[in-house]
Structure 1
Amino acid sequence: MTVTLTDRPIEKVREEVIDQLIMNYSHGQISLAAFERRLDIANQTDDHHLLVKQVEDLTLQVDESYTESKNESLGTHYTPGNAVEQENITNILSSNKRIGKWDVPKELKCFSLLGNLVLDFSEARFTHPSVRIKLMSLLSDDTIYVPDNVNVIIRTSNVLGSTNTKLEGKTNPEAPTVIIEGLCMLASTNVKMKRTVKQRFVEFAEQLKQMLG
């Protein structure tokens, strides 16, 4: 017996609709303009019927090959490994950047004094389901880039400082969680994404389209 559409979890319906949009665009069934227009609606609406309307005229359904490609490209980046449990990063009158592909420890303790710290998790490999970042930032400027498919919890305190957050996306219980806590004194901490959820889906769709020739 089929469950009534409006009784289904909205995020599950959204995921299915976006998958079908990507599948049909990558196979040349709809134009880029139509794909992006429908993708915007699918990401923004919480109306079950409006969601389903975006794919009601599309015939191609998601197959096993698509699912494998999606898991490889848009996975949660969580892979059990041998990263250290704890790592310390100290910046005093200096700059420190952790970018590219790197193994994330379970806990990062970061101290910045008159410095600049950049932690970029966009391509990092999460070796623990939960990562804790403990900040002590004094007269410094820190930036943390997180992927759109991880969960983020921020618990910082500010004394004549600021914590600026620019994130989007939904909570995923299967994804790694990044917990940011600590003290910002006369300092600025920025937490943001390098790419939006929409950009991630468009990039994946373009990759599939190129693979299919």
Structure 2
Amino acid sequence: MLSYDELMEIHARVRFKHDETGRLITGPLLFIGTTAKGIVERYHQTLDKDITNELKRVVKNSPWVDNPNKVNMVKMIQILNKERPVERVYAGPVYVFDDVRGKPTEAVRITHENIELLEQHFSDYVEDVDVGQPVFAVVRDRVAVSLCCSAVQTSIGAEASLRTAKDYRGRAYALDVTTAWAAEIQKLGRIALFSTAWNNMSSQAIARKLELKQYGVELELR
């Protein structure tokens, strides 16, 4: 069983590319993942060394509980603004799936052989089918109405991306398709992850219905 800190480390590695020193190549200027046991912190490789060191001191002295301390977040933004303006703040819960292998679903695997199922509601995703594998959909009347794929992934873990057509929401299709995706990820020997923003109440409701385990909270300053 992986610890919460280990899961947060996997989450960071799945979400963002790192250089050989552990700094971010892609993603935010500053990433902080907090768990009940500790903190996983990442700094973008383009940040000035003095700025990075100043941020590290603030992070080290921050009282982290369930959410980032607002006062210290303001301090971190002020420090980052010395180099470049922070344009976006993102924060939300992060989850992991329990073992769902063998759990029955109605979802079907989407490949190039049945890619036409996406044309009505998810035509913008057709070109990304290879990148997002495994891809699963709930199909009604030969049309995909709910879709789950890998938003980002590594050989260790993958994070779910979920979409349901507007007229088909509220029918539990999202639960079915996400379970199918997670089961396939787990069959491949990888960790199935899910995350969302604090203001995305519908995604948090899905996480509760799926009985996902919340192992921490993430903060991104971009």
Same fold by TM (over 0.5)?
Answer: no
- Structure number with bigger Rg: 1
Using structure 1 for the length normalisation, give the TM-score. Answer: 0.30
Which has the bigger relative contact order, CA under 8 A and spacing at least 6? 2
Larger fraction in strand: 1
